[in-house]
Amino acid sequence: MLGVPLIDGGTVRLPQLIGLSRALDMILTGRPVKAQEALAFGLANRVVPDGQALQLALELAEQISAFPQLCLRADRNSAYHAVFDSASFTQAMQYEVDHGVPVVLAEAVTGARQFRDGMGRGGTFSKSKL
């Protein structure tokens, strides 16, 4: 510890994300957290071999960018709202509905048709892999 307090939200958000005990361990000791521990804590979603992170990140970005963007953003915003902004489950659910209904009207019919035709089943979103 260098005498520099966390003033970037670290002491507020980290305990919400990984629990108070783990957050305090990281905050108070300043120790490095390696890949497998970060994965176990939920700080990382994936661990890849050395030298492959950029390639995986680019593939993930390409996959995510291919999804309908209104839906993707509405779902992402709702998840953040539920965790960080909602005072209750009811408020979080209301936010999801209020911000999801316009997307249903804009994108969901096409998405439901694609699902009916096989896209997305079993986690496969590419027609070439169906």
Rounded CA separation 25/56 (Å): 30
Per residue in 76-102, pLDDT (tens digit) is 999 999 988 888 999 999 999 999 988
What's this model's pTM, rounded to 2 decimal places? 0.66
Residue 101 is which amino acid? V
The rounded radius of gyration (Å) of the Cα atoms in the chain is 19
Of 39, 36, 41, whose CA–CA distance to 25 is shortest? Answer: 41
Rounded CA separation 70/92 (Å): 19
Residue 69 vs residue 111, higher pLDDT = 69
Per residue in 16-69, pLDDT (tens digit) is 889 999 999 999 998 999 999 999 999 999 999 999 999 999 999 999 999 889
